[in-house]
Structure 1
Amino acid sequence: MADDISAKLDILIKLQAAALTSQMGSTKDKILFLAQAGLRPTLIAEILGTTANHVNVALSQGRKPKPTKGKK
């Protein structure tokens, strides 16, 4: 019974994530959004059809400060 409920919750999470990210342009934006929502990299990868390694790289790059223009 618990496995059945867990499977249904997984489906609901995936459907909601797909709906929320459907209008986002880049995969990186989707990854950062889903990670901020608390999803694990493996689940994000499954939702977006990519690898957990790709998700982890995007998350790592997303944590790096963006360079400012005009400063040396």
Structure 2
Amino acid sequence: MKELIETIVKPLVDFPEDVQVDVLEEDHRVTYQLSVNKNDMGKVIGKQGRVAKAIRTVVYAAGSSQQKKIFLEISE
């Protein structure tokens, strides 16, 4: 899943080397924390959050087979 997020986000940003995905696993949830360069935040979030919503939709669909709830957080 980490590779999927990186594959989606890196072509969108100007600084792909700054894209980092951290994974926090708990009992019933997995949280992926996506951090990008602060100059790329607008590109990852998109107008009215459309790009971020699309990324989350793909990630949630890919993880629907898991028994854990998946969350994606975007930070600088």
Q: State whether TM-score is above 0.5.
A: no
**TM, length-normalised to structure 2:** 0.28
Structure number with higher strand proportion: 2
- Bigger fraction of residues in helix: 1
Whose radius of gyration is greater, 1 or 2? 1
